[in-house]
Amino acid sequence: MEDIIDEKKTESENSDRISDLPDCLLIDILSLLNPRDAVRTCILSKRWYHLWSFIQSLSFKFDEFSGEAERFNNFLSSSLQLRDEASSVHKFKLSYSVTFDAKLSDLVLRTWIQYALDHKVKNLSVELLGRHSQFLLKCQFHCDTLENMYLNGFHVIHADNVCLPKLRELSLVNVTVHSNFMQKLLSGCPALVTLSMHKSEICMNNIKFGTIKSLTMVYCTFKSLGLPTLSISAPCVQDLKFIEKKGYKVTFNNMSRLNKAIIVRPDKLGFGRTDDNFVLPTGISGVRFFGLMSIYLKELLNRELRKCRIFNNLTHLGLGFCSKRCNFTTLSSFLKVCPNLKTLSFHHTKYFCEEDQHQEKNSEITQQYQGFPCQHLKLVHIDCYGPHERNCAHQMQNLVLQWTKHIVGIKIIFCSCKA
């Protein structure tokens, strides 16, 4: 009896349980491997010979080929040619480090991307890294299944027409965008709700984002076509993040649905310049979360105060990069129009207190602003990022403690980080 049990145990241990799995599960397992390892499984048995060709998640990384451009190009092209033609591609990811001698032409790159579009791709990510990336992407952007697209490192993107009815998220990084392509893109993507642009060059004067609900523009450059101002209209935007360095003339129009806005203006605009080129978005008074960072904070806040708008919905406010001219007078006035504020954050605080520090009038300021206008405030967060700011931040902390001592249950957090 024991011999029979041992024999069955040995057979169980030696059995090939993976081969007992159905093909669909084996293909899902192969999808977790990088393409090179997946292709290598074809030597296991006759059954495994073609399984890799049905993989629906493809990720090709140039770095995995030790920088050998020709070997990488041949492998990728061969992999696509040998795939089962009827098998769709749910995810296609390409990361290519472009060097001076990389043998990658616009035509070959376009062939790879077009293959994914023609095979019902849902998630498309193409990343060209390196300072030699000057590629022209000219594709037929027709795909009924594409939902998410990420493009990085294309000098120019061109398309005769665009038809991506299910595209919901689009990210453009280090890309030059001309007005004709942007217009075709927005009109050809009726379901687009999230648009993110990082370090891209935008060559147009007026942009209207009809369906966009989340808009991010970080460190982009704007080349106006004869006009001095870039006008952005986004009637459906609820979440806005706008960060830039050069102080472009920008106006935001028709943003009545804003719920969250983070705006960072440059710390310097040049000698003798002020931030007259920038106006806070229309609809800003309806936000719940508002972050504003600029060395010209005083001007921006005072400009907003003159409009006599009340920020009834605002519960979280973050401020930073303030001018030396901006003491607590402007801040206190602005807080009076934020009656329901619950969280207040200060970042890079040295400019708030520098004027007061030189004049040594802290006691007068404390007495003048003992009545803090925000009665619902629960949390004040003060950040400083270097030893040169700690004295100022401690000064602000003491002032806030004096201002808010009559508010029950308030919490003051002081965070000192290394530079």
Please, what are the averages of pLDDT over each run of 10 residues along the chain (419 residues)?
52 60 73 73 66 80 80 86 85 81 72 90 89 65 93 81 93 87 88 94 86 93 70 92 82 89 72 59 88 81 83 91 57 85 77 45 44 75 67 68 71 67
Whether residue 195 contacts residue 212, with contact meaning beta carbons closer than 8 Å, is answered with yes
218-274 confidence digits (pLDDT tens): 998 887 666 657 788 999 999 999 998 777 778 888 888 999 999 987 755 544 455
CA distances from 39 to 7, 54, 80, 364 (A): 36, 11, 12, 75
Q: How many residues does the chain have?
A: 419
Beta-ladder partners of 60 = 94
What is the pTM for the complete model shown?
0.82
Whether residue 126 contacts residue 151, with contact meaning beta carbons closer than 8 Å, is answered with yes
159-178 confidence digits (pLDDT tens): 778 899 999 999 999 988 88
3-state SS class at 194? strand
3-state SS class at 9? helix
The CATH architecture of the domain made up of 13-55 is Up-down Bundle (1.20)
Residues 400 and 374: their CA atoms lie apart, in Å, by 12
Residues 295 and 306: their CA atoms lie apart, in Å, by 19
Q: Per 3-state DSSP, what percentage of the chain is helix, strand, and coil (rounded to 5)?
A: 30, 25, 40
Which phi and psi angles does 382 have, rounded to 5°?
A: -120, 120
**Token pair recorded at residue 148:** 């998410």
H helices of 346-386, in order, are 350-359, 362-368
Strand stretches in 213-364, DSSP E: 214-218, 221-222, 230-233, 239-243, 250-253, 260-264, 289-293, 316-320, 343-347
Residues 330 and 366: their CA atoms lie apart, in Å, by 15
- Chain region(s) in the chain for CATH 1.20.1280: 13-55
In sequence order, the 6+-apart residues with CB closer than 8 A to the CB of 29 are: 21
Q: Residue 141: count other Cβ atoms within 10 Å of its Cβ.
A: 25
